[in-house]
Chain A
Amino acid sequence: MKRTIIALSLAGMATSVTAAEIAPGDVAFEDGAITVSLTGQPGDPARGREVLGSRSLGNCVACHANSEMADIPFHGEIGPMLDGTGDRWTEAELRGIVANAKEMFPGSMMPSFYRVDGYTRPGNAFTGKAADETFGPLLTAQQIEDVVAYLVTLKD
């Protein structure tokens, strides 16, 4: 939380007119989609790709296979293949799915990557201990934008 504020004020200093980052609790969904960028900045697809593959970040490949990421071993089979998601979904829909898939797919097994409320016994990462004041969304607003920027490139 504190870090976000510092990051924001730094960003604010760099470019005088920056849209404020939208906090997890303030995100507006329309039919499961989010129409505006959460940071006001475009995402970086290369960094988004890293988020998808890294165990310590999105770890999306734990559940989804993705042919474009054949360099990364062990793709899961829980969710649909990500091949062609850029054709099937708009950017706004993909932002909604990644931020909180349960808005688009009620009851989905897919975790909500940009949400902080409503959990049962939330923990402090993978320690097994109760969440403390460092608890934040699974991904930052910028990481969500990076992932979305990558997903729109997945065309059949």
Chain B
Amino acid sequence: MTRTKMLAALFGATAMMTGPALAEPAEDTLNLNDEIELVTWTEPSEALDGALTEVISGWHFRGDETRAMQADDFDNPGMMFADQARETWDMVDGAAGKSCASCHGDVDESMKGVRAVYPKWNETAGEVRTLEMQVNACRTEQMQAEPWKYTGEDMINMTALISAVSRGMPMNVAIDGPARETWEKGKDIYYTRFGQLELSCANCHEDNYGRMIRADHLSQGQINGFPTYRLKDAKLVAAQHRFRGCIRDTRAETFAVGSPEFIALELYVASRGNGLSVEGPSVRN
């Protein structure tokens, strides 16, 4: 951290003289609503096994305006969608005549900390579940309602709400025990060079974060800020949407959202960000 700061200062001085765009992650602090200071730059967890020397939220790689938008709930367009899910939370749906609130009560209380530990091993089902899978398990099993579409509006708004109430808590997904096998599979995918361009996630987000790739400033591809409100698309984007886009950009045949491959990849990528604060819904350009 100190070395990076020194470097940034040096580069800053050079930039003032010569004027090129800086590709260093911005030195800044994310004070959410001027109330909580989020951890956006920290030590790597054991999940990384030395692959990174520092763990940095994607927030640092975005411009001043985008960073400022995320810092204030009134300016963050993602919060509108999270608030829409508050109504859904209380709404009865399905043959059992229940709402989310019937079982879980107050969302701010009961869901606090949930985002931070997902994807997570479910003992009864004997599988690793993403937040989307768990929401749909509640809908079908507890409420006897139709599952939501994995990428549908209801689902992403709900995951935005569940993330929002955990903001500031450290990401802490478990990678040992029965989740290990899935995690290993996700790790394999992370380091596979897909497509005709033969690029792995690691090529861009581990070896080259901080550098420009054409007009984009490469981040570490962390998902502590997901779902994210993407200004370019004017909507919320789930982590697996982003994975699909990144794999497509390598001229590869992508995996489907909700596929076993993407579930494994989501667990692995989430674990790379263990220690960063939950930020979702974040704002990206």
State the CA gap A67–B199 with chains docked (Å). Answer: 26
Among B68-76, B211-219, B225-233, B277-285, which stretch is in contact with chain A?
Answer: B211-219
State the CA gap A124–B214 with chains docked (Å). Answer: 22
Q: Is the C-beta of A121 less than 8 angstroms from some C-beta in chain B?
A: yes
B213 partner, pick from A62, A120, A138, beta carbons under 8 A = A62
**Do A121 and B194 touch (CB < 8 A)?**
yes
A-B interface, 6 closest residue pairs, ranked by CB to CB distance from nearest: A128-B248, A74-B215, A62-B214, A130-B253, A77-B211, A128-B254
State the CA gap A74–B211 with chains docked (Å). Answer: 12
Q: Known pairs A112-B198, A120-B194. 20 more at Cβ < 8 A?
A: A55-B214, A59-B214, A75-B212, A76-B213, A78-B208, A78-B211, A78-B213, A109-B199, A109-B203, A111-B199, A119-B196, A121-B194, A122-B196, A122-B253, A123-B196, A123-B252, A124-B253, A128-B248, A128-B252, A128-B253
* Chain A positions 12 through 36: 1 when the CB is less than 8 Å from some CB of chain B, otherwise 0: 0000000000000000000000000
State the CA gap A61–B199 with chains docked (Å). Answer: 17
Main secondary structure, interface of A, reads loop
A128 partner, pick from B23, B198, B208, B244, beta carbons under 8 A = B244
**B194 contacts which chain A residues (CB < 8 A)?**
120-121
Interface core residue of B198, B244, B254 (most chain A CB under 10 Å): B198
**Do A123 and B207 touch (CB < 8 A)?**
no
State the CA gap A126–B248 with chains docked (Å). Answer: 6
Chain B: which residue is nearest A129 at the CB level?
B253
**B198 contacts which chain A residues (CB < 8 A)?**
111-112, 119-120
State the CA gap A124–B196 with chains docked (Å). Answer: 9
**A138 contacts which chain B residues (CB < 8 A)?**
196
Q: Could you pull out 20 A-B pairs where Cβ atoms are within 8 angstroms?
A: A59-B214, A62-B213, A73-B215, A76-B211, A76-B214, A77-B23, A78-B208, A109-B199, A109-B207, A111-B198, A112-B198, A119-B196, A119-B198, A120-B198, A121-B194, A123-B251, A123-B254, A128-B247, A128-B254, A135-B196
**A55 contacts which chain B residues (CB < 8 A)?**
214
Q: Is the C-beta of A127 less than 8 angstroms from some C-beta in chain B?
A: yes
**Do B249 and A126 touch (CB < 8 A)?**
yes
Q: Is the C-beta of A46 less than 8 angstroms from some C-beta in chain B?
A: no
Smallest distance from the beta carbon of B159 to chain A beta carbons, Å? Answer: 23
Interface core residue of B249, B251, B254 (most chain A CB under 10 Å): B251
Q: Is the C-beta of A131 less than 8 angstroms from some C-beta in chain B?
A: yes
A122 partner, pick from B192, B213, B214, B252, beta carbons under 8 A = B252
**A122 contacts which chain B residues (CB < 8 A)?**
195-196, 251-253
Q: Is the C-beta of B193 less than 8 angstroms from some C-beta in chain A?
A: yes
Q: Is the C-beta of A125 less than 8 angstroms from some C-beta in chain B?
A: yes
**Do A120 and B214 touch (CB < 8 A)?**
no
**Do A111 and B196 touch (CB < 8 A)?**
yes
List residues of chain B with CB under 8 Å of any chain A CB: 23, 192-199, 203, 207-208, 211-215, 244, 247-254
Knowing A109-B203, A126-B251, the reply to whether A119 touches B212 (Cβ < 8 A) is no
Smallest distance from the beta carbon of A115 to chain B beta carbons, Å? Answer: 9
**A109 contacts which chain B residues (CB < 8 A)?**
199, 203, 207-208
Chain A: which residue is nearest B203 at the CB level?
A109
State the CA gap A78–B213 with chains docked (Å). Answer: 7
Interface core residue of A73, A74, A123 (most chain B CB under 10 Å): A123
Q: Is the C-beta of A82 less than 8 angstroms from some C-beta in chain B?
A: no
Q: Is the C-beta of A63 less than 8 angstroms from some C-beta in chain B?
A: yes
**Do A63 and B213 touch (CB < 8 A)?**
yes
B248 partner, pick from A59, A74, A78, A123, beta carbons under 8 A = A123
State the CA gap A63–B218 with chains docked (Å). Answer: 12
**B207 contacts which chain A residues (CB < 8 A)?**
109
**A61 contacts which chain B residues (CB < 8 A)?**
214
Smallest distance from the beta carbon of B246 to chain A beta carbons, Å? Answer: 11
Smallest distance from the beta carbon of A147 to chain B beta carbons, Å? Answer: 16
**Do B195 and A74 touch (CB < 8 A)?**
no
Smallest distance from the beta carbon of A52 to chain B beta carbons, Å? Answer: 12
Smallest distance from the beta carbon of A11 to chain B beta carbons, Å? Answer: 26
Chain B: which residue is nearest A125 at the CB level?
B251
**Do A120 and B192 touch (CB < 8 A)?**
yes
